[in-house]
Amino acid sequence: MFGINFSELLLVGLVALVVLGPERLPGAARTAGLWVGRLKRSFNAIKAEVEREIGADEIRRQLHNEHLQSLEQEARKILNPQYTPPSMLPAEPVEPAAAAPLAPVATVEPVAAPTAAPEHAQAHEPEPVATPHITPVTPAPSANDPVQPPRAP
């Protein structure tokens, strides 16, 4: 406990024997043993009480933190209904899907509507509505495209 080895303890015993004498040494050793025992018990009791207090403080702190976190989550739900708390997110990041080749983009060109109805058409028939004409646009081939033949330099 205090770093006293056997040789130091033997030296203290010899000094006590010389100073106290053989008649009073057993009583002094008994009294010293009682005091050392009381000190150990007191030290252990204080140590246990401090550990218990530290543990109680830690539990109080954890409960307080959990309460604050729940209040914060409730406030976020009220302010932002789409918010997902971090505890509800997936544990592993989701890898994006492999990039698919881009599809050709189509352009829409409006077809002009006829301005006048044909003379043979009847007046009660509705005029035709302009429908868009869609022409596909293919992307320009890239220099490293394996489908295209190699270009001349």
Cβ(105)–Cβ(125) under 8 Å? Answer: no
Residue 69 lies in a domain: yes
Query: What whole-number distance in Å separates Cα of residue 116 and Cα of residue 128?
Result: 11
Where is pLDDT greater, at 5 or 82? 5
Task: Please compute the mean of the pLDDT values over residues 1-29 and round it to a whole number.
Answer: 87
Where is pLDDT greater, at 60 or 15? 15
Q: Which domain holds residue 64?
A: 1-81
Query: What whole-number distance in Å separates Cα of residue 108 and Cα of residue 106?
Result: 7
Residue 8 lies in a domain: yes
Query: What whole-number distance in Å separates Cα of residue 126 and Cα of residue 77?
Result: 54
Task: Note if the pTM is more than 0.75.
Answer: no
Does residue 4 register a pLDDT over 60? yes
What's the structural domain count of the chain?
1
Token pair 């492999």 is found at 98
Task: Please compute the mean of the pLDDT values over residues 42-51 and round it to a whole number.
Answer: 91
For 60-109, what is each residue's pLDDT tens digit? 888 888 988 999 888 888 887 775 656 666 666 555 555 555 555 555 56
Instruction: Share the mean pLDDT of the chain.
Output: 75
Task: Please compute the mean of the pLDDT values over residues 104-130 and round it to a whole number.
Answer: 58
Residue 23 lies in a domain: yes
Residue 72 lies in a domain: yes
CA atoms within 13 A on the CB side of 121: 10
Cβ(46)–Cβ(52) under 8 Å? Answer: no
Amino acid present at 100: A
Residue 143 lies in a domain: no
* Phi, psi of 138, rounded to the nearest 5 degrees: -95, 140
* Phi, psi of 62, rounded to the nearest 5 degrees: -65, -45
Residue 147 lies in a domain: no
Where is pLDDT greater, at 10 or 91? 10
Residue 103 lies in a domain: no
pLDDT of residue 11: 92
Give the count of beta carbons closer than 10 Å to the beta carbon of residue 16: 15
Three-point CA angle 31, 32, 34, nearest 5°? 65
Query: What whole-number distance in Å separates Cα of residue 26 and Cα of residue 29?
Result: 5
